[in-house]
Each structure stands twice: as structure tokens, then as C-alpha cells.
A = this chain, B = another copy of it.
Amino acid sequence: MSTLQQMDHSSLQHLHEKTKKELDAIKKENLSLNMARGKPSAEQLQLSLELLDSVTSKNIGDNFFVLNYGMVDGLPEAKALFKDLLEVDTEEILIGGNASLNIMHDLISKALIKGVIDSETPWGKEDAIKFICPVPGYDRHFTICEQYDIEMISVEMLNDGPDMDKVEELVRNDASIKGMWSVPKYSNPEGITYSDEVVERLAKMETKAKDFKIFWDNAYAIHDLTDHPPKLKNILEACKKHGNPNRVFMFASTSKMTFPGSGVAVVAASRENISFIKEQLSVQTIGPDKVNQLRHVRFFENYSNLLEHMKKHAEIMKPKFDAVIEILHSKLDSYGIATWAEPDGGYFISLDTMDGCASEVIHLAKEAGVTLTGAGAAFPYGKDPRDRNIRIAPSFPSLEEVEKAIDVLCTCIILVSTKKLL
């Protein structure tokens, strides 16, 4: 078989008509499949159900203080459990509520009003501030910037992380660049893990803004799909080594380990940063939900159990990822009209169509009953400059539904690509 680009007009026309009929047939099935968000499936939630039983009226014991106010930085036992997740000391971590996104948002809103630890001026008092956004990236990061009028500068993701030549040049010359987003392991959506060199360069680079901060959203720190996962270098240690200990805020959460709505979020940073954050937090709240922290502590007991638990998630996730990859290969390989990542972990598969096709593919898939993440979502301001990126989130539907949905997606890609080339 020849790629679409090599096909003659009539073969293309024939394929287009055939595919159109296939899609019309699919529409009659009245599908309703959702691959839009990185949501764990019911089967995954079930893995942690016993967490709900770990603190009850019968077994709470003398731990009444967990029910009361206080401990704004979280339960010491929870710090001890989660410190290994981000490879920090218990003095370098805070345990919060159910959403790491919330902590990131709060840090930015406080930076705008008051500044961060090394600010001379609150960010919001500057004429303009900017964040570096590796693209494609996580839409909710970008939405926070958009909401608060933080200008986003896109930097392309390469195979081992963001284009560091570009990043270094930007931050060296522009004092209004105050921050940078990063999902350093299994990046959302491409599943790329930053190389040691990238981590080193981020930690070491010269920044014109003295109060430049990296928001290191390690959302998929232990969400591996293979037995030999890539190892992410510890950026806090690298920052310390290069004399920039306060450069990075690291985040993680149990959203995709236990329950997305009722998990525990953590932030790690230098001791100085942590005490600065703690002081700010104590203005905002009298303390986090320590009972839920205790639930997690009792459910996991130790970090190695947590790692074992993640293997059970992988057992559920891996067949879905494999199915997506396999179907993409079998349906699209020959046509040369799409490329995609084949990540070792995380929650997404990022696919690029030919330029100018993604919106229409997503639109057609939606009409056929398959909801994908909106076109452009992985880019600042929702605008994919080449209109080619599609984020596939296979976790929530069943394996059977994933197979069906990807089949539909492939049909839509072929249809839009043939139309484009005709």
C-alpha cells in the first residue's frame, strides 16, 4: 500500500468515499465514548476502596487530634510516607488537600499579590509577567495563566524535554519571565521524561528575573507502565547544587493513585520555600483534612506498598495503551498521515495528524459519539498553531470501548486527511 501522499487522485477519492461510508455506519451505532480527560476508571478506583475503611469510629483510636483544627503543613506521618515520592526530606514537604492544581493556583495567586520568597515586587505589580509553557502541555496549567493575564511563551518539547537552548535564551534576557510550567515525567500529553541534562540545565540556567520559579508538576512520578521506567533526576537537589535552592516548587498527588476527588496533594521545595509557603498557608486555612491524610498513611503504610499499588494500576492501564498503539499502527501506518508517542507511563497518548486536520478530526469523532480533548487544548490560549495535535486519554473507558473509540478516531483521521489531499 502507498502513503496517502503517494496515492493518485482516484485512489484517494475511492478511499475517501469508502471511509465516509464507514463513518456513516458508525454514526448509526449511537456511540457515547469519552476519551477527553485523564480520569481513572472505576476498575482503578476499586483498587483503593479499602482506604475508605482505614479510619472509622472503631479504629480511630486516640487519634482525635486529627479530627480537630491545626497542623497547617499536614500530618508528620503523611510527610514521612510521601517524601520519597518527590525524593525530599520531611522538612521539604507540605501535605495539603485533595488537589495539587489548587496548590499551584494558590502559589501563583499569592505570587501575584505578595510575590514569592525572593521577589522585590509582587508579580501583579509588574507591568507584565510571562511564563514559559512547553508545548504541547497541560491545559489546566495554561488556564491559570490565562485567567491571571500571565503571558504564555510556548517552547517546543523535544524528545528529552523542552528545547533548552530556547528556554535558556528566554530566561537570560527577559526579566518579566517569572515562571515555567513542567510535567517532567511522562509529560502531558506526550509522555516525555526530561533527561538529566535538561534537569541540570533548568537548575543551573541564569535567569534575569531573580524570583523565577519552576512549577514542577510531577503528576505521574510513579505512574509507570513498564518494569524499567525512566528515572527523573531530582531537580531540587540540582537546584541546590547550582546555588538556586529556591527555584523550584515540586508537586504530586494521589489523585491517580487512590481517588482523584478525595486524594492528598503534596508540595515540596527548599526548607526556606516551605516555611515561606507555610506562613502564607496559615493565613488561608487552619489546616488540611488530616483524617484523609491518615487514611492514606494507614492504607499504604509505607512507600514500597505504594509502589506495589501502582503496579496494579499499570496492569489495568497497560492493555489500554497497548490497544491504542496497536490499532493506530494497524490502521494508520501505511498511510503516513499521523505520528504518535508511545509512552512508558502517564495518562496520555499524543497524536499528531497532518497540519490543519486536528480540529476537524475531533469534530467528526464527536459527531460519531467519541469525545476527545478539545482541539488546541494542549496549547496556550487553546491554539495549536499547526492544528495537528490530538490528546488521547484511554484510562476511563473500558478496554473494549478504547478499542472502539480508537477505531473511530482512525476512521476520522483517514477521512479528514483524504479530504485535505483531494
Contact = CB atoms under 8 A, between A and B. Distances in A.
Interface stretch (A44-52, A77-85, A180-188, A353-361): A44-52
Contacts of A66: 261-262
A280 B235 CA distance: 31
Nearest to A110: B109
B69 A60 contact: no
A292 B97 CA distance: 12
Interface residues of A, number: 56
A99 interface: yes
A39 interface: yes
B39 A69 contact: yes
A40 B102 CA distance: 28
A389 to B, nearest CB: 22
Given A42-B64, A50-B57, A110-B109, A261 B283 contact: no
Nearest to A258: B67
Interface string A262-301: 1000000000000000001001111111111000000000
Interface stretch (A20-28, A140-148, A314-322, A337-345): A140-148
A280 B292 CA distance: 25
A259 B67 contact: yes
B114 A291 contact: no
Given A98-B288, A113-B109, A49 B53 contact: no
Interface of A: 37, 39-40, 42, 45-46, 49-50, 52-53, 55-58, 60, 64, 66-71, 97-99, 101-102, 105-106, 109-110, 112-114, 124, 140, 143-144, 147-148, 255, 259-262, 280, 283-292
Given A50-B57, A261-B291, 15 more contacts: A40-B68, A46-B64, A52-B56, A53-B57, A56-B56, A67-B261, A97-B97, A98-B288, A112-B112, A112-B124, A143-B283, A144-B283, A260-B287, A261-B290, A289-B292
